[in-house]
Amino acid sequence: AQKITQTQPGMFVQEKEAVTLDCTYDTSDQSYGLFWYKQPSSGEMIFLIYQGSYDEQNATEGRYSLNFQKARKSANLVISASQLGDSAMYFCAMRGSNFGNEKLTFGTGTRLTIIP
Amino acid sequence: GAGVSQTPSNKVTEKGKYVELRCDPISGHTALYWYRQSLGQGPEFLIYFQGTGAADDSGLPNDRFFAVRPEGSVSTLKIQRTERGDSAVYLCASSLTGVPTEAFFGQGTRLTVV
């Protein structure tokens, strides 16, 4: 079984500062994928970044980077230079296989609020 | 359309009634997923289709829930004898097959059972 834990229910961050959203995971799979999604108040889940368990380098996508520490089973999302539009719910998720279409297991999310 | 489309966006129904929720995936995406998101929670997996067949329906909570995808594109989630506990946002996602990729989500259907 897979489990995602997000321990920060809410965070407040000053605009333009960097923010780290925590995510730890548990799985017995040797191969897996980790995802971060953003969910604004409109409700859709927006894909942000993906990290495969065998990827040696941390994933980056623009202002988003994933701090992947495999031994600690953590996959924290770092947002640099935060913007007001970053205010949303953020979900960490895991898939059981790097190259498949297995189901996603989500955490409970972190509500991020950017303060002007 | 370019994205995953879900209809209706909102549905209010009385306890005990039958409802159908529709998902129109991105063209060419063979994988389709249904998730349920209760208030304050992350999405929970319900069912996954690969083409026309349900490859994994382990998340369906009971036999009141059923989903079909008869032609491998549009999918319908069907809920019989609705209960107040079924109230949630039902999300649909689609993705390509066989590559490490993200799933693209629709905006969801908010179901309220009164």
Instruction: Note the pLDDT tens digit of each residue in B18-27.
Output: 999 999 999 9
Mean pLDDT of the residues in chain A: 92
Task: Give the model's pLDDT for residue B99.
Answer: 59
Confidence of residue B6 (pLDDT cuts 50, 70, 90): very high
Query: How far is residue A36's CA from residue A50's CA, in Å, rounded to a whole number?
Result: 7
Residues belonging to chain B: 114
Write out chain B in H/E/C secondary structure. CCCCEEECCEEEECCCCCEEEEEECCCCCCEEEEEEECCCCCCEEEEEEECCEEEECCCCCCCCEEEECCCCCCEEEEECCCCHHHCEEEEEEEECCCCCCCCEECCCEEEEEC
- On the question of pLDDT at A97 being above 70, the answer is no
Query: How far is residue A49's CA from residue A93's CA, in Å, rounded to a whole number?
Result: 11
Contact at CB, B42 and A93, closer than 8 angstroms? yes
Distance from CA of A28 to the nearest CA of B (A): 19
Neighbours of A102 (CB within 10 A): 21
Evaluate whether A20 touches A77 at the Cβ level (below 8 Å). Answer: yes
Q: Which of B36, B38, B102 to mutate: most A Cβ within 10 Å? A: B102
Buried b / exposed e across B69-96, counting CB within 10 Å, b at 16+? beeebebebebeebeeebbbbbbbbbbb
Q: Which residue did the predictor score with more confidence, A29 or B80?
A: B80
Q: Which amino acid is at B13?
A: T
Residues of B with Cβ-Cβ distance to A45 under 8 angstroms: 43, 91, 93, 105
Query: How far is residue A78's CA from residue A70's CA, in Å, rounded to a whole number?
Result: 16
Q: Is B46 exposed, middle or buried (0-12, 13-18, 19+ CB in 10 A)?
A: buried
Residues of A with Cβ-Cβ distance to B45 under 8 angstroms: 103-105
Long-range pairs of B99-103 with CB within 8 A, sequence gap ≥ 24: B99/A99, B100/A33, B100/A50, B100/A52, B100/A98, B100/A99, B101/A50, B102/A35, B102/A47, B102/A50, B103/A47, B103/A104, B103/B31, B103/B33
Task: Give the model's pLDDT for residue B55.
Answer: 87
Residues of B with Cβ-Cβ distance to A102 under 8 angstroms: 48, 56
Tally: H helices and E strands in chain A? 0, 12
Average pLDDT over residues A90-106: 80
Task: Give the model's pLDDT for residue A95.
Answer: 87
Q: Which of A25, A46, A103 to mutate: most B Cβ within 10 Å? A: A103
Q: CB pairs below 8 Å between A and B: how many?
A: 63
In A, residues 41-100, which contact B (CB 8 Å cutoff)? 42-47, 50, 52, 91, 93, 98-100
Confidence of residue B1 (pLDDT cuts 50, 70, 90): low
Mean pLDDT of the residues in chain B: 93
A101-110, B32-41, B87-96: least confident range: A101-110
Query: How far is residue A74's CA from residue A10's CA, in Å, rounded to a whole number?
Result: 19
Query: How far is residue A95's CA from residue A2's CA, in Å, rounded to a whole number?
Result: 9
Question: CB-CB: which of B99, B104, B107 is closest to A43?
Answer: B107
Residues of A with Cβ-Cβ distance to B97 under 8 angstroms: 101
Residues of A with Cβ-Cβ distance to B93 under 8 angstroms: 45
